[in-house]
Amino acid sequence: MGFLRSVVATWFLLVVLWFLSSVVVADPVPPPCEFPAIYNFGDSNSDTGGISAAFVPISAPYGEAFFHKPAGRDSDGRVIIDFIAERLKLPYLSAYLNSIGTNYRHGANFATGGSTIRRQNETIFEYGISPFALDMQIVQFDQFKARTTDLYNQVKSTPDAEKLPRAEEFSKALYTFDIGQNDLSVGFRKMSFDQLRAAMPDIVNQLASAVQHLYEQGGRAFWIHNTGPIGCLPVNLFYVSNPAPGYLDEHGCVKAQNEMAIEFNSKLKERIVRLKAELPEAAITYVDVYSAKYGLISNAKNLGFADPLKVCCGYHVNFDHIWCGNKGKVNDSVVYGASCKDPSVFISWDGVHYSQAANQWVADHTQNGSLTDPPIPVAQACRRM
């Protein structure tokens, strides 16, 4: 019996060793990057107060769902860059152009509503195009970096230093981009599709040049959003009646506009691939916001949202349009462009911009890395893959 017990014990030990040797040990999840700051460049999709500081402030009911007052954002609450800041455990970004109550210790936001990648030869008072195109935002960043570094050296032993970035942290920051939608909207207004298509390489090259410049200034981690399904913005249907067959897709979006957005995104992704080779120390993440937004719009009902082409804020009946927060006359009666009762079930806040609920959904479905190239969450975006 003793011999038998010994054989069984030996056999059991061999089985255990074989099992342990066959187990694949998963690679440990690397720790978060611990970005000390975010520097954002973009348009109204990520503006946190820039255009409000430079021109007429955004008024109520904007901001009502979260800030309970206007907060410089084209939404009822937070925009995607706010959710990125939350994910990275950083404060919301102060706009570079805002001189009141700002804190730049953990970054700055250079985005302004109406911004484009390429400079446009028109004023904001014509079609809402910002004078702060991407190249000007980069100039502002350079000035911000130089002046805050100089100022910090003057006040580093005082409480004022707590509102300023540290020079050594610019190279450790996350640089985010959400811009390009207005280049398409200007193109739809001023160009044929063939002309816009021919302009796309120059547009994406200018964005690449901005990334290259920041890289030369020490930036290493870049998080770049592609452009969304512009043809699904309700504003594109405000003045359309009885569209021709094939003008709209199965979800009611302007088909040709979305096809141009897809083409733009394809060229942007190709340029980012080349950019990775040109900037060997950079970690560049391409973020497919288009797929997230179109996925939300195409599945709105199943996800608990209202008709994605319906607008929460503003008065839009037939061809009478009173924009969100404004007053106007309809049939000699004063009408106010008010908010709907429950913005949280709407995708479109004002016909052009997304609601906070939609922004959060898109953020949740992009920041986890499921729609990025490489497939990496934003908290790991400092890592080259």
Would you call 192 a catalytic residue per the annotation? no
Active site residue 355: no
Tell me if 219 sits within 8 A of 175, measured CB to CB: yes
Determine which helix (DSSP H) or strand (DSSP E) holds 222, and give its type and residue range. strand 221-225
Instruction: For CA atoms 131, 136, 138, 140, give the dihedral sign.
Output: negative
Q: CB of 106 within 8 A of CB of 170?
A: no
d(CA 184, CA 200): 9
Close Cβ partners of 288 (under 8 Å, ≥ 6 residues apart): 226, 265, 366, 371, 372, 373
Q: How many other CB atoms sit within 10 Å of the CB of residue 318?
A: 8
Q: Among residues 75, 225, 353, 355, which one is catalytic?
A: 353
Q: At residue 102, what are phi and psi to the nearest 5 degrees? A: -95, 155
Separation between Cα atoms, residue 341 and residue 337, nearest integer Å: 13
- Cα–Cα nearest to 340, from 324, 326, 327: 324
Catalytic, 321? Answer no
C-alpha 285: how far from its chain's center? 13
- Which one is catalytic: 44, 46, 185, 339? 44
**How many CB atoms neighbour CB 104 within 10 A?**
17
Residue in the structure block whose two tokens are 């953990």: 106
Out of 47, 76, 183, 350, the active site residue is: 350
- Known catalytic residues? 44, 350, 353
